Structure formats: structure tokens, C-alpha cells
Amino acid sequence: MKRIINILALLALFSVSAWAQTSIKVQAPNVVAADEQFNLTFIIEGENSPSDFQWNCPEEFQLVWGPQKGTSSSITIVNGKKTKSSQVTFTYVLLPRKTGTFNIPQATATVKGNTIRSADVRLEVVSGEGGVAGSNGGSSSGGSSSQAAQTGNISNDDLFLKLTLSRTKVVVGEPITATLKLYQRANVVGFEDAKFPTFTGFWSQEIQAPSNIEFQRESLNDKIYNSAVLRSWTIIPQQSGKVTIEPAELVCLVNIRSSAGTGSVFDSFFMDDYKTIRKRVHSDSYTLNVTALPGGAPSSFHGGVGSFNMTASISKDSLKAHDAASLIVQVTGSGNVSLLEAPTINFPPDFEVYDTKVSDIPSGKVFEFPFIPRSHGDFAIDPVEYSYYDISSHKYVTLRSSPLSVKVAPGAAGASGPSAVISSGSVRKDVKSLGNDIRFIVTQKPSFSRSGAFLIGSTAFWVILSLMIALGAGVWFAMRQMFAFKADVAGQKNRRAVKMARKRLSSAGDFLEKNLYTAFYEELHKALLGYISDKLNIDLSDMSKDNISSSLLGGGVGQETVGSFISLLDECEFARYSPSGSQDAMNSHYQTALDVITQIDSSMKKTSGSRNAAISAICLILMLSSLQPLGAQSQDYPDSLWNVATQAYLDGRWSEAAQAWSSISELGVESCDLYYNIGNAFFKMQDYSHAILNYERARKLDPSNTDVSHNLEFAQEFILDRIEAVPEFFLEAWGRKMCWIFHSDTWTVLFFIFFAIALAGGIVFFLSSGGRRKLGFWVGVCTLLVSLLCVDFAQWQKSDYVKDNSAIIVRAVTSVKSSPSRDSSKDLFVLHEGTKVKVLDSVGEWNNIELADGRQGWIPVSDMEII
């Protein structure tokens, strides 16, 4: 009984299978012209022939002919097994009665007692010309194709390319499907020299590139064409504004009827009455207006535009220390899936994270973040956030996962028990960087200076240098005078004149007390003449009263004092030869000698001192008048603006901070710290081009500032262009590196120091002898060379600052032209914001620029900003 049931089930299954294999297929064109006859064919395939075939012609069509029944069968024997199959066709020729889209009624037939039906078919009837040759469905008319072949005139309406876009109003990052089709109403037999659009300004991916071109009937502008898809792309605009898609080109090989012939009926048998011509066709260029994404994008925005979903999970939520696991983020949806970037994941500090693995899935991407926890404990990974721009709602949408928990048990090194390994100490390792960012702003108010103010070459520089040279010359002169002073015998006698005179007068005083008349006047006479000889440097042989009088008067001594001195000499000579004076006369002459010597000495000192004082006063006045402008360089310190900007930055109001600091620079003052802070504010606003611009300005003022160099290098990582610079000559590179060790003003101060040492060495060389003279020479020469190097470095930095031939691209994308014109020039290459260029020349609103790798071109002045 069971065996019988199994046999019946197999027979039922076989019959159902045989019935299922028999069906009615329909062949008909999808579009026809109103005056075009076409074939409608029903095909029935299977092992058994059908019976009772039924189909009714709809009233929208006129049955011209049919049905025409056709039958074919085949028998196949494989390994002794015979298989029989048959095919029956029923063909109708129809003519449309009116235009529109109509349903073809189903056909029915009976196969082994089972009724089978055809599928529903929709057919479009248009009022235009029809009869395109080679179309599927069996058109029965030659139409325009034959007319073009006979006349040989292939018009642009018979053969053309057309590029269609799935949408025309898009935002940056919104995907578009671009399809390039060939429409033809001629006998195309081949293709040559195909040039497809390059889609400049778009990210593009080819999604359809058929190797065999298959034409389908298609209605366009109420005409019927054979159309074929040549290429299909997904394109995503990368810049806002008007973006143009270049036209595509194609050379088609078309067969046309040749007019040559003898007119004989045998021409068609013995002569080829067709020839092949080449016709170049191209599509129209297409300009799209691409809207920029709105500002205020969340920090978790990674370029997604469309509609997406996100899931986040961990491959293992429980593991041991030093075991590997992965955090898997899956983003799916519709939009620019190919351009989706990995989200930012905040792992715990002791997790060692490896490179992200990215894999494509249908309608999405999977981001895998491998990690290894290095210590045990319970850890929580912050919720994963992923933001995208929703096209339908025109706003940013943020997807957020729940927090992810990871339980990490102690690894093998931390196991307990008898078999545990006891380590002798902690395992030490390098401190790992968890992230990178720009360095913080300068909060302390800097010292501002006028724009372009450097110590080198300023008035203060030349005044200080002049004073140093004058001081060196003065020291040299003073020391030379000192040495000459020590070697001047006459001068020493002059300075000792009063001392020797008082000594002789002291001896005369002793004789006065002893009342030794002759000895007193002898000694008094010697004291007077010895004083004059020492003071006026007059030899005793030339000692006469006339010489004494003229010399004293020339030294600034008054006439009365000179007369008193000469009278005293006469009285001393008279008393020596006529010793008859009294004690009172001796006392009077002694006192007179003391008074007159004192008066002579004070008169001569006063004259010399007045001259030196006048010279000193003149020098002091000159110094004060030279230094007065330095003291007058006062400036208003913008404390309030600096404090407002600093507080705005601390509160996260980056735009207000940048505006306040920029207002300070508009006052005509500047500093390295000011431009550094402005660059930080722009960086936080993600305006990397203006951030780099202000960092470059800060480095111009102080190339030695390490914070500026760090932030500049960090900001340059966010720009798109990577340009390999031409290597600099090693001596120039070494010199620039040395030059950037200190600020220009610091190099100027070092110049003053080494120049002062060089002056000291020169003074020692000119005033010394022997070993000291040699030491002074080498010290002077070496420090002079060092001072010249310092002043050269200071001037180098100043000249770099003064140059205005460097600029930063501030436009998101700019095309570099071959000449200063938009119409008559070619695009050489494309630059993005933040790229540094060198300005070579200017013509009107265009600048000739040069890249670091030597390439040159022209871009508008408005697309860049001079550093």
C-alpha cells in the first residue's frame, strides 16, 4: 500500500512538473507607430503539442493577417535516453487604430487537459514615424531607415547621443545616475573613437559598460528610435556652484545605399550597392547648479548625504586582557555610499586600536575597528555617533548607538593560583598618544608692534650702532690718552707743580720761623720759578719775565695775578742781594706766594674744565635728541578686545574670537601670538585655509615659534593637495634652519653683543703689544664675523616678511588656467583650499602662480589671499 502511494505521488509530481514546463511566451515590440504594421507572436514550448489555442484581437488594433501557425520539434538521445521537445508559434500581423498605451489580451491554450495562459503585455502606440529596422518584435515596414540608406543623408535627428541625469537639483555629495544612450534611425554597423565625459568636479563610478550593444525600440519626442545604453555612471558632485559635464563623442559606422550602378537588373547580384560612411555624433554639455551643504555640520558628520541607518556591535563583549576583539559599525541606506568615511570611536585609554578595516556590502559599508585591551576591568565605549545630511528633510541627522560595554578578565600574566607566573616588577612601556590636536592659544597679552616693525634697519638700530661705534672710539681715545698721559713727562711735571711748590714753600716756611733771611728768599725764589717751570713746561734757561707773563696770560690767568707774581719775583731777587728786610716783610711775601700760586692753579684748571664740560654737554644733547623718538613710540594697548576674544575662545564661540582678534590687527598692530590665536580660531571653525594663512603670517613674524610650526603642520594634514616640493640647496636649507632658531630682533641683539666684543678686541689689538695684541686680533675678527652672521639672519627674516609673493588658496576648488582668461585658456590642474603658492606676476584680476614642485598657471586674484 505504501509503495502504491509513493508511485502515485511521483506521477502527480511528474505531471505538475510537465505542466509547469509548458507556458505561452509573447513576442511583440514595446512601442510602434500609428501607421506601422507589427508582428505579435505567441510561442508554446514543451514535450506536448497544445490544442484549442484562443486569442481575441482587441478593438484598438486591426487584424491584418493571421494567425499563422508554425510547428517545430526535436528529439535528443543522450546515453540512451531520448528526449523530445516541440515548439508551436501563432503569429498575427496587427495595425494600430489609435495612439496610446494598451494591454494585449491574454492568449489561452490546452496542454494535456490543462489550460495555460500568456502574460500581460503593454504596448505603446505613438503618432510619430515608425518602421525602425532591426527592432525587436518584428516590424514589417522599412520606414525612415530605408530612406536614409537610399539617400545617404544621415541627419542629426536620425543619429545622436543623449546624456540623461536622474536628478538635476542636488547638493554636494548627493549621488546622481548618469546614462549615456545612442539613438539611431539608420543602419549602424559599428563604432569608433569613443570619448566619454571625464566628470571634472565629480566623484564617478562606472556601473554599466556593456560589451555587446543591444538596441531596444524607444519612443522619444513622439518618434520611434532604436536606443542602446553605452555607459552608465554614478556621479557625486564634490563642489558647489555651476559644474559642467563635458559632452561625449562617438564615431558611428553607417551603411548607406550607393548611387553608383549601370541600371541593370543584375546590379544587385554582381555589385555591392551599399557603402559604409563615418558620422561623428556627440551629446550636449550639461551644467548643474550644485548647492553647498549648509553650515553647522555636527562633528560626527563624515560626508554622508542621503538616508542611512547604523548599527554598532562588539564581536566579543567578554574577553581577557591582551585578547583581540572588534567593534563593528554597519551603515546602510541610499545615498553616496561609496564616499562614506569611518566614524570616530572613543575607545578607553588602555585599548590598543589598529587600522580600521572597511568592506562594502549591498547598499552600505561595514567599518571594523580591531582593538586589544591591555588591562582588565569593566569598560564602557561611548555611544557611536554618525551624522549625515538628509536630502528629503534638508537637515543633518545624527544616528546614535547605545553605550557598548566590555568586560575584560585578567589575562595569563595576571592569573592566580599555584601555576601563576610571579613577575619581578611592572612591565614598563612608552606613553601612547591618544590623539592629536592643535596647541592651545596664548592667553597672556603680548607686546604689539607696528605692522612691519623690526629692530634691524630701524632708527633705534642705527642710533644704537652709532653710539656703540662712538663709544668704542671714545674708549680707544681715552685709553690712548691715558697711555700718553703716563708717558708725558712734562704733563707729570705740570700736575706735580703745585705739590713741589708747596714742598719748597714748606722749606721756606722753616727758614722763616728760624728768621734766616737769605735762605728764606733763596728757597722762596726757587719755589716760584720751579712752579712756573713745571706748570708751564718752560726750561730754566728760557725763564724770563716776558715769557712767564705771556705764558700765564695764554693759560687764562688774570693780568692782576700775573703782575702780582712778577712783582713777587722782583722782590725775592731784590731781597737776595740786599738783605735788609724785616720779619713782617718776610711773612707778607710768604703769604703772597701762597695766594698767587693758588690763584694761578685755579685759573688754569677752570679754563680746561670749562672746555671739557662744554664738549660733554654737546655729546649728551646729541644723545638725548637721537633717543627722543624711541621714547615717543607709544601705542594704545587693545586690552578689551584681547580679553573679549580670549573669553569667546574659551567658551567655544570660535567665530566671535576670530572677529575680535582680527579687529586688533586692523588697528595697525601685530604680533606672532595674535596671528597664532586667529589661526586657532579658524581651525576650530574648520576653515583650514584661513587657519593656515594666519599660521603662515605668525611664522613670518617669528619663525622660531615651535607652537606655530606644530599647528601649521597639523592644519596642513587637513588639506587635499599633496605637492612634492623641489629639494632646496642644502646650504640654503641649513642657513634657513639656523636663521629660524631665533626671532629677527633676537638676532639683532646678538649682533650688538658680538659687535661690542669685536670693538673691545679691536681696542686691545691697537693699544696692546705681544700676546695681548694677538689675542685681541683673533677675538675681534671672530666676533666680527659672528656679528655679521647675526645681522644677516636678522635681515633675512625681515626680507622674508616684506616679500608679498606667497599666498594661500582660500576657494574650495579653483582651476588653474594656462593663460589669464576664462574663455581662451585650458585647465591645467585643480587646486583646493589651504594650498600655498608663490605669486610670480599679476595681470588685471589674474595672478601667475607657481607650486612648490615647479608647475605654473593662472588663477583669479579672488581665489587666493596674500600671506
Residue with cell 713782617: 584
Q: Evaluate whether 565 touches 548 at the Cβ level (below 8 Å).
A: yes
Alpha carbon distance 166, 334 (integer Å) = 14
DSSP characters over 24-68: EEEE--SEEETT--EEEEEEEEESS--EEEE----TTEEEEEEEE
**Burial class of 393 by CB neighbour count within 10 A (0 to 12, 13 to 18, 19+):** exposed
Rounded Cα gap, residues 442 and 705, in angstroms? 12
Per-residue pLDDT tens digits for 832-865 = 889 999 988 888 899 999 998 889 999 999 899 9
Residue 516 phi/psi, 5-degree rounding, is: -95, 95
Is residue 411 classed exposed, middle or buried when 0-12, 13-18 and 19+ CB atoms within 10 A define those classes? Answer: middle
Mean of pLDDT values over 387-405? 92
According to the model, what pLDDT value does residue 9 have?
Answer: 52
478-492 confidence digits (pLDDT tens): 877 776 666 555 555
Q: Give per-residue pLDDT as tens, 282-316.
A: 999 888 889 999 988 898 998 899 999 999 999 98
pLDDT band (50, 70, 90) for residue 148 = low
pLDDT for 425: 43
Quick: pLDDT tens for 324-379: 999 999 999 999 998 999 999 988 877 889 999 999 998 899 999 999 998 888 88
Give the residue, 691 or 46, on which the prediction is more confident. Answer: 691
Given this model, what pLDDT does residue 434 score? 57
Q: Which pLDDT value is given to residue 233? A: 93
Q: For residue 780, is pLDDT > 90?
A: no
Stretch 446-455: mean pLDDT: 74
pLDDT (tens digit per residue) in 687-699:
999 999 999 988 8
Between 527 and 116, the more confident residue is 116
- The answer to whether 426 touches 407, Cβ cutoff 8 Å, is no
What is the reported pTM? 0.45
Q: Which three cell numbers stand for residue 302?
A: 563624515
According to the model, what pLDDT value does residue 3 have? 55
Q: What percent of the chain has pLDDT over 90?
A: 23
d(CA 14, CA 770): 128
Q: What is the mean pLDDT of the chain?
A: 81
With CA atoms as reference, report the closest residue to 194 among 253, 276, 237, 256. Answer: 253
Amino acid at 128: G
Tell me which residue has cell 548627493.
174
- Amino acid identity, position 229: V
Element (H, E) at 164: strand 159-165
Looking at the DSSP assignment, which residues form a beta bridge with residue 92? 40
Distance between CA 835 and CA 116 in Å, rounded? 71
Check whether 680 has a pLDDT greater than 60. Answer: yes
pLDDT band at 556 (very low <50, low <70, confident <90, very high): confident
**What count of other Cβ atoms lies within 10 Å of the Cβ of residue 416?**
7
Model pLDDT, residue 414 = 42
Cα torsion 641, 646, 649, 651 to 10°: value is -100
pLDDT band at 676 (very low <50, low <70, confident <90, very high): very high
Amino acid 564: pLDDT:
82
Please report which confidence band the pLDDT of residue 80 belongs to, taking 50, 70 and 90 as the band edges. confident
The pLDDT tens digits for 822-835 are 777 888 888 888 99
Q: Cα dist. 588→303, 472, 510, 567, 597 in Å?
A: 117, 53, 15, 13, 14
pLDDT bin (cut points 50, 70, 90) of residue 494 is: low
Q: Is pLDDT of 143 > 50?
A: no
Exposure string of 425-449, with b = 16+ CB inside 10 Å and e = fewer, is eeeeeeeeeeeeebeebbeeeeebb
d(CA 508, CA 516): 9
736-773: burial string, b at 16+ Cβ within 10 Å, e else = eeebbebbbbbbbebbbebbebbbbbbbbbebeeeeee
State pLDDT tens for residues 112-125.
Answer: 888 898 888 888 88
From 407-421, 426-440, 579-593, 624-638, the region with the lowest mean pLDDT: 624-638
What does the angle CA 760 – CA 761 – CA 763 come to, to the nearest 5 degrees? 65
Q: Residue 495's pLDDT band (boundaries 50, 70, 90)?
A: low
Which amino acid is it at 612?
Answer: N
